[in-house]
Structures are given as structure tokens and as C-alpha cells.
């Protein structure tokens, strides 16, 4: 089967997401574009957090995908991308789960994450840029820098040496999920997310910029990708935005 995207790779860059965002703001790509790097010097996650990975220690790539989604649909698009990434890693041999809204987990520890950003070119054409970072192995210094329990693919049966194959398989799975999302919305993807949702029925806190704004039992997600939370005040449907989630202590 012919590749579904154009591919480029570099040894080092600041951020593959930043590289693609700069480019697609000038002109929407003719087809999905994948840019991978062995090392990023300015990698980042949600809410401007820094992404820590030693040279060669992670799968680091971004996809630029021409789409018609607007800013309001990016949150659910992020969940769709997470589904694709997690399912591809499971197919490769890693028992990966999802933490709403954008983390990939292995045995309850952070394995990686997804960051989606929307760019518009001068003709008003939209491109979704999806950044993916997945730990291959963690040296002690990098593990200490992450600031939370972390995991890497070298703890699993995944053949981490096949970097290019893994990136291609994950990118293809993300594109498949995004095509479903753009055509039919999140409803067809909802059961796939629920099958991967690590915190289902757990008591969780929702944080906004580090401040707790809600606490309740995580029931799952609705047809728009919003987290359904059973609180003392009743059922809440929460869009991700600036929210993050942690299991209550």
C-alpha cells in the first residue's frame, strides 16, 4: 500500500510541531506530512510544559493533516489521535491505556502524550498539527526531570529498534482515527476510547492551571469527547481546554 503521508526526518530540531506550524501557516500541505526528529531541544506538551527526552530516547514526530475542523473541535480530535496511537502500540505489543485528555499510559505511568494545534494559512485553509512523543528508554536524569511516574517502551515486548516502522504504524493509525472523526464526529470513536480509558470509575480531581476545580467519579466520555464526571452536585460534562486530570489521593 502506498504511504498515506509525505515523510521527512532530521537528526535534531527545536520542535517538530513548531516546524510544521510555521510551514502550514504559509500554505496548507497538499497531503498529510510527517516530520520526525531523533532529538528535540524545545519539545513541549500541553499548557506549555516542557517535554524531556534524551537524544534517541523517544519517538518524536508530528503530523500536519489538512482538515476542516475548527478550534472548538480540537479537544475531541486530540482524543481521536490518542486512540490511534494507543491502538497501534497495543498492536505492537505494549499494553497502553489512555488518560483523558491526551496521555498514553503504561502500567499507570506516563509513556507519552499527544498535542494538537490548529493552523490557518492565508487562504483560510485549516491544518491540524499533531505532536507525538513516546518514551523508548529513560536514563535516570531524564526520568528525574519528568516529575511524575514515567514508563518506556523498552519495558515491553515492542521492538523499539524499529523506530521508523513504529512511527509509521502510529502515524497511520492516527490518520485513520482522524478521518473517522472528520467524517462522522467523535461518536463512532467513543467506544474505542472507553476500551482504553484507564481511569474509568476512579475518583479524580480536575485541575485548571494547577488548581482543583472539580472532583468526582470518572464515568467516561460522551459523544463529543467531554469527560463525564459524577460529582456531589450531579453529573458534569467537562471539555478539556486548560483542564487536566489526576486520580484523587
The dihedral built from the CA positions of residue 3, 29, 116 and 56, taken in this order, carries a sign that is positive
With b meaning 16 or more CB within 10 Å and e meaning fewer, what string describes 7-20? eeeeeebebbbbbb
SS3 of 35, please?
strand
Average pLDDT score over residue span 118-139: 94
The boundaries of every CATH 2.30.30.100 domain in the chain are 199-247
Average pLDDT score over residue span 91-104: 95
* C-alpha to C-alpha distance for 152 and 154, rounded to whole angstroms: 5
Residues 6+ positions from 236 with CB-CB distance below 8 Å:
214, 216, 228, 229
Q: Is residue 2's pLDDT more than 60?
A: no
Q: Which CATH number applies to 199-247: 3.30.1490.20, 3.40.190.10, 2.30.30.100, 1.10.260.40?
A: 2.30.30.100
The boundaries of every CATH 3.30.930.10 domain in the chain are 6-195
pLDDT band at 110 (very low <50, low <70, confident <90, very high): very high
Q: Is residue 33's pLDDT more than 90?
A: yes
Average pLDDT score over residue span 37-41: 92
Tally Cβ neighbours within 10 Å of residue 64: 27
Domain 6-195 fold: BirA Bifunctional Protein; domain 2 (3.30.930)
Per-residue confidence (pLDDT) for residue 215, from 0 to 100: 93
Cα–Cα distances (Å) from 187 to 179, 191, 244, in that order, read 13, 8, 22
Amino acid at each position: 500500500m502506498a504511504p498515506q503521508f509525505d515523510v521527512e526526518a532530521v537528526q535534531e530540531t527545536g520542535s517538530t510541531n513548531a516546524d510544521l506550524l510555521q510551514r502550514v501557516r504559509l500554505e496548507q500541505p497538499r497531503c498529510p506530512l510527517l516530520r520526525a526528529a531523533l532529538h528535540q531541544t524545545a519539545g513541549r506538551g500541553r499548557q506549555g510544559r516542557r517535554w524531556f527526552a534524551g537524544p534517541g530516547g523517544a519517538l518524536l514526530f508530528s503530523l500536519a493533516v489538512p482538515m476542516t475542523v475548527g478550534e472548538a473541535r480540537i479537544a475531541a480530535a486530540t482524543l481521536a489521535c490518542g486512540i490511534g496511537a494507543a491502538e497501534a502500540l497495543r498492536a505492537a505489543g505494549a499494553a497502553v491505556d489512555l488518560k483523558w485528555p491526551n496521555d498514553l499510559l503504561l502500567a499507570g505511568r506516563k509513556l507519552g502524550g499527544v498535542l494538537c494545534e490548529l493552523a490557518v494559512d492565508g487562504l483560510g485553509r485549516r491544518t491540524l498539527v499533531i505532536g507525538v512523543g513516546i518514551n523508548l528508554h529513560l536514563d535516570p536524569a531524564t526520568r528525574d526531570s519528568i516529575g511524575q511516574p514515567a514508563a518506556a517502551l523498552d519495558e515491553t515486548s515492542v521492538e523499539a529498534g524499529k523506530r521508523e516502522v513504529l512511527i509509521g504504524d502510529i502515524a497511520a493509525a492516527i490518520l485513520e482515527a482522524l478521518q473517522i472523526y472528520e467524517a462522522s464526529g467523535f461518536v463512532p470513536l467513543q467506544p474505542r476510547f472507553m476500551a482504553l480509558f484507564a481511569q474509568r470509575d476512579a475518583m479524580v480531581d480536575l485541575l485548571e492551571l494547577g488548581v482543583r476545580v472539580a472532583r468526582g467519579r470518572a464515568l467516561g466520555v460522551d459523544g463529543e469527547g467531554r469527560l463525564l464526571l459524577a460529582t456531589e452536585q450531579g453529573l458534569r460534562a467537562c471539555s478539556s481546554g486548560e483542564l487536566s486530570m489526576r486520580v484523587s489521593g
